[in-house]
Amino acid sequence: MNSHPTMPQASSCLPWHLALFTWNFKRLFVLALSLLAASCATPKSFYVLTAEGPAPAGGGTAIGVGPVSLAGYLDRTNLVFQEGGNRMSIAESHRWAGDLEENIARVTATNLGRRLGTGNIRTYPWGSDGELRYQVTLDIRQLHGTADGDAVLDAAWRVYSLPDRRLTASKSWSGTEPLTSDGFDAVAAAQSRLLARLATEIAATLR
């Protein structure tokens, strides 16, 4: 059944201009209800991962970070939460503010620059790699919050020397970080701290 009002037919008891006014009023009423329903929808919150601070300015060892690959369950705009056991929850109203792979690459690049004392770090894609000394690729296998009050990160990385692209290191690391408060803002903050710890591990393979 069509829920929208249909154009009224003029009758002897209702002048045509009054019938048209009534029909338009009904249409406006339906539109107002639609707008009200939209305004009552759950608002969305957006999050980013952050580095500890700015990377040093100027030169230093030239390093490229990326590409970053994500586990299938992370390849989405929503944050993910482990409710317990093997059950994962997709947070429909809590989303990443941009591309998660790019965000992780930028944060890792900045954190590496701070640890290695170089401002000469690029994120993938960087075009020609002729000026780069190393390339670091990342595989993020787990990155989520848990019902136990922790954030979890499990990652693997490879280091290649350039321009010959010779593999010099292949490592993995996993860790947890406690949430300092409730809410997904605390989850993103804890995940940022985990990425900082991961950068410390990666930097050790670049020295």
> What is the CATH number for 161?
3.40.50.10610
Q: Model confidence over 73-91: pLDDT tens digits?
A: 999 999 999 998 899 999 9
Residue 12 placed within a domain: no
Residue 183: left if φ>0, alpha if ψ -120 to 50, beta else—which one?
left
How much is the pLDDT for 58?
Answer: 79
Sign of the Cα pseudo-torsion (92, 94, 99, 103, in order): negative
Residue 104 placed within a domain: yes
Reading the block at residue 162, the tokens are 């350039």
Residue 8 placed within a domain: no
3-state DSSP assignment of residue 110: helix
How much is the pLDDT for 181?
Answer: 93
Q: Which residues of the chain have pLDDT under 70?
A: 1-41, 129
How much is the pLDDT for 140?
Answer: 99
Residue 200 placed within a domain: yes
How much is the pLDDT for 131?
Answer: 87
Residue 40 placed within a domain: no
How much is the pLDDT for 128?
Answer: 77
Q: What is the span of the domain harbouring residue 132? A: 45-204
Residue 11 placed within a domain: no
- Residues 146 and 168: their CA atoms lie apart, in Å, by 34
- Report the domain count for the chain: 1
In the block, residue with structure tokens 């595989």: 139
Residue 37 placed within a domain: no
